[in-house]
A and B are shown apart, each in its own frame.
Chain A
Amino acid sequence: MTQMSDLLTILPVFIVVIWAVLLLLIDLWIPKGRKGITALLAVLGLATALGVDLAIQGQTSFAFNQMVVLDGFSSFLQVVILASGITAIALAYDYLKRMDIEHGEYYVLLLFSIAGMMLMTQAYNLLMVFLSLELLSIPLYVLAGFARSRTESEEAALKYFMLGAFASGFVLYGSAMIFGSTGAIDFPGIVAALNNGSANLILFVIGAALLLVGFGFKVAAVPFQMWTPDVYQGAPSSITAFMSVAVKAAGFAVLLRVFLVLFPSLADKMTPVLWMIAVLTMLVGNVVALAQNNIKRLLAYSSIAHAGYILMAFVGYGNGEVATNSISSALFYLVAYGLTSFGAWALVIAIEKEYGKGLMLEDLSGLGKRYPWLGAAMLIFMLSFAGVPLTMGFWGKFYLFRTAVQAGNVSLALIGLLTSLVSAFYYLRIIVYMFMKPGDRELHIDKWVSLVLVVTALAVVALAVFPGLIFEWAAQAVMLLQ
């Protein structure tokens, strides 16, 4: 029987789902052209959930026969995801109007996707993992194609759907293998089967590998990254911004939990594979980004590269002493990356003239001189991406590389550092265009987009001056990981 405590455990998710359903109905009565109200209501729902999430920080409980869990880890990531959702709506409001694709469903679909992500951070059963994955993905397929009449958008949606469906298939197949191997689908059951030796290890390893592949698609790790540039470029920028942060956060949430809870015994087999994936992801993302002239594609490759940095944290997951540091460094990096990324995408949204137009690097010429504050904000984001001090990105890399060195992976840290050097080159290119090339483009910057720019830029710097707060929060979140 469903009990009150069960509901409390998933209260934030519950709020978002109910809100989404209600909003779908309410939106019918909101006249066309006043969809700002829908956006506002969606933000209200997310803010309520965020408030609840902040209030229940530090609590731990299970619900629905251990189908879902509430712990520091899940509430940390839910805060990240909800904040991403609110930011994504702020970015979308004016953008949708300008691109003439303003429909109320946009916000509703976004809420459903967010609910899926939130549930994903709480999943404690492979079925729940799959269910939340689908709840996350299906609305996103629609959103990627939201600019329906445009071929780019449709292409993005189709590509995302095809590869996403494959990824789901991998996850499902992997879950089936693990079920076949251990006879259990819930995390405690699987762990128990592994501990008492009743599991078929070969099947288990295959299952684990398939899960890794499936989620590798979601977080865009090499060699499962092919869809990313096309989808990021073709989808509406406001959705790309959301995908580049929130989907990655949710994907890494599952990967981290699954690896830490289910696969510690596979560490010796998994570590070299993860090492390889992390290195390839950093290399491919950063090197290919060098050749990009479209800022959306450039940021897409940069997001692949950053997934590679986060994957560094996985390599040491089997080493008990390092594991907690690894995970909290990954969480910290996610926050740093998320803030920086939203800032950078806000700029993309500000400069996008027509759908997909005005996004070449040349289009940035002279913006730094004409709009010094915009330029300063972008400078902060690019430095943070490159990992230059007095930005969050620096501390993120500092912590990640420190953990890699601690785990004895000096080679990995070195590759990470060298690829950041490569990345500095293309991030600097953006700065070069903005500040050092002549041009006089006029921009129309919406107030909500400016707000996102200001808040993220200030946060990236302020949290770099006082990084202790987030460090401690992330460390705490991992301590409470179930």
Chain B
Amino acid sequence: MELVLMTFFPLVGVLALVLLAPHQKNVMRWVALITSLITFGLSLWVLSQFDPTKSTNMAVQLPWFRLAGVPIEFYLGVDGLSILMVLLTTFLTPISILSTWKAVEEQVKGFMIFFLLLEVGMLGVFLALDLVLFYIFWEFTLIPMYFLIGIWGGKRRIYAAVKFFLFTMAGSILMLLAILYLGLQAGTFSQPQLIANRAIYAGAEMLLFLAFGIAFAIKVPIFPLHTWLPDAHVEAPTAGSMILAGVLLKMGAYGFLRFNLPLFPQASVQAAPVMAILAIIGIIYGGAVAFAQKDVKKLVAYSSVAHLGFVVLGIFALNVEGVSGAVLQMVNHGISTGALFLLVGMIYERRHTRELDAFGGLWKIMPIYAGISMVVTLSSMGLPALNGFVGEFTILVGAFGSKVYGSPWFAGVATTGVIIAAVYLLKMYEKIFLGPVTHSENKSLKDLSVREIITLAPLVVVIFWIGIFPKPFFDLINPAVEQLVQLVQSAAMVLH
């Protein structure tokens, strides 16, 4: 019941918000913040009872209803693959809400309601073990995000919001078809039971893999399905971008881990080289395009394409190093890119521009901002002793040793992505912070306020924590990853 309480707790906040009068803006902010903090507390409570060696923890399995004889269940559970995603969600939500304190003045009530609803949806996605329930949460996250972009976004917000909605829905459609097929063939929608009954639908594995895979690939996004991402990111409000990059993209990668790998192991092995090639194209292409951007937010958005390329590369290495590195890197990307979007948002609030050329020399004017930005930029680059390094290094180790890739070239080419990342991120840092102050408007910029420092501090702490002492994180992930990898590898044996 812990999971149910945690997942739906934000609804309490929604209810409270609905009852508030429109002018009580500050009360609304506090209600949303406190609700999300309590949800974070509840997730820590879940963590305290979490046993990484068990395949599902705190499972809640309630019959919902039967459709033509097949039960559809309300089935939640948490394991090593999802626990960090849950924590990431509950951790980033209060930070995002705190970041909107000054940025969102219009329709605060609606904003906070959608934000808390989004949290419910995201938690549900990471916890659902019934395919239909998963699909419901998956689609449900679209609606609040659509409004967050469409109402509180930038100039081309409507275009971006509709594009975001339709792209994701296009992917989901194939997934729904596959879910229907699985349910009909196996007579169940429960993920563990489907794994046990894999033989029933083995003939259609590849098609099913593709149907699920396209839905997840759009969300990740994997090249060439990434085109919605820059639009959505650039137009979304800061808090929306943070959650979009921090959590929503992870839903795609998580989907591969939770469904594609264990449900369709043979197809996963067969598809792995192709997925790796797409991932590597994403790494190089995302990096190159990021380098060419003049708008900081677009730069960060394209860097996401590159970073998530690493995650996909790790997942489809199909060995323990690769997959656990990928899971950790999902967290890292959520933290680092979330922090980057936050930093971009803070400077945008002051200058109302995000053009790289509009800045320069901020180091002298905003020392605290510059210092934190450096840590975050270096973490995104993958500097040792910061979080990004641990994740990318583990992924590359996995990719080098991967039997399914069968060649060290995959990892070799991907490594150049690390260098490209260094190039565009350092260019960004240099253009904004170093050199002389070229624009007189910048001279009067205020450094970070206490609230802004509080917003950023937890992220910086986690950046160092994972960078210096990642063991507790790996301890949470590894047992589940070992099980998953074993399952896939034994299926691969059948194949050969």
Contacts and interface: CB of A to CB of B under 8 A. Distances in A.
A394 B172 CA distance: 13
The 4 tightest CB contacts between A and B, nearest first, are: A468-B65, A389-B136, A417-B173, A389-B139
A425 B140 contact: no
Contacts of A417: 173-174, 176-177
A401 B65 CA distance: 18
Interface in B127-175: 132, 135-136, 139-140, 142-143, 146-147, 150-151, 157-158, 161-162, 165-166, 169-170, 173-174
- The winner among B68, B140, B174 for most chain A CB atoms within 10 A is B68
A417 B180 CA distance: 12
A398 B161 contact: no
B24 interface: no
Interface string A356-378: 00000000000001001000000
A428 B180 contact: no
Interface of B: 64-68, 107, 110, 132, 135-136, 139-140, 142-143, 146-147, 150-151, 157-158, 161-162, 165-166, 169-170, 173-174, 176-177, 180-181, 183-184
A421 B180 contact: no
Contacts of A402: 67-68, 180, 183-184
B166 A325 contact: no
Given A388-B142, A405-B184, A428-B165, A435 B177 contact: no
A369 B165 CA distance: 21
A367 B52 CA distance: 50
B68 A369 contact: no
15 contacts: A369-B107, A388-B140, A388-B169, A398-B176, A401-B177, A402-B184, A405-B184, A418-B173, A421-B169, A424-B165, A424-B169, A428-B165, A428-B166, A435-B151, A436-B158
B140 A390 contact: yes
Contacts of A238: none
Nearest to B68: A325
A428 B165 CA distance: 9
Given A417-B176, A436-B151, A436-B157, A399 B67 contact: yes
Contact of A401 (B142, B161, B169, B180): B180
Contacts, number: 84
B236 to A, nearest CB: 13
Contacts of B147: 435
A232 to B, nearest CB: 26
A372 B19 CA distance: 13
Contacts of A398: 67, 132, 176, 180
B177 A436 contact: no
B475 to A, nearest CB: 35
Interface string A279-291: 0000000000000
Interface in A428-455: 428, 432, 435-436
Contacts of B135: 389
Contact of B180 (A413, A420, A468): A413
Contact of A428 (B136, B162, B176): B162
A369 B161 CA distance: 18
Given A389-B140, A390-B140, A425-B162, A405 B150 contact: no
A421 B157 contact: no
Interface residues of A, number: 34
A190 to B, nearest CB: 30
A394 B137 CA distance: 13
A383 interface: yes
B219 to A, nearest CB: 16
B122 to A, nearest CB: 15
Contacts of A420: 173
A475 B169 CA distance: 30
Interface in A456-482: 466-468, 471, 475
A410 interface: yes
A471 B165 contact: no
Nearest to B138: A389
Contacts of A383: 143
Nearest to A467: B65
Contacts of A271: none
Nearest to B132: A398
A60 interface: no
A192 interface: no
Nearest to B18: A372
Given A369-B107, A389-B140, A466-B65, A421 B183 contact: no
A294 interface: no
A405 B66 contact: no
Given A405-B181, A406-B184, A466-B65, 15 more contacts: A383-B143, A388-B143, A389-B136, A390-B136, A394-B136, A398-B132, A401-B176, A402-B180, A402-B184, A425-B162, A428-B165, A435-B150, A436-B157, A468-B64, A471-B65
- The winner among A325, A383, A428 for most chain B CB atoms within 10 A is A428
A28 interface: no
B157 to A, nearest CB: 7
A414 interface: yes
Interface in A53-78: none
B182 to A, nearest CB: 10
A330 to B, nearest CB: 13
A410 B177 CA distance: 8
Given A388-B139, A436-B150, A436-B151, A425 B166 contact: yes
Interface string A390-423: 1000100011011101100010011001101100
A341 B437 CA distance: 60
Contacts of A468: 64-66
Contacts of A435: 147, 150-151
Nearest to B183: A402
A379 B107 CA distance: 17
Contacts of B64: 468
A432 B180 contact: no
Contacts of B158: 432, 436
Contacts of B142: 388
A421 B68 contact: no
Contact of A424 (B110, B166, B180): B166
A325 B184 CA distance: 13
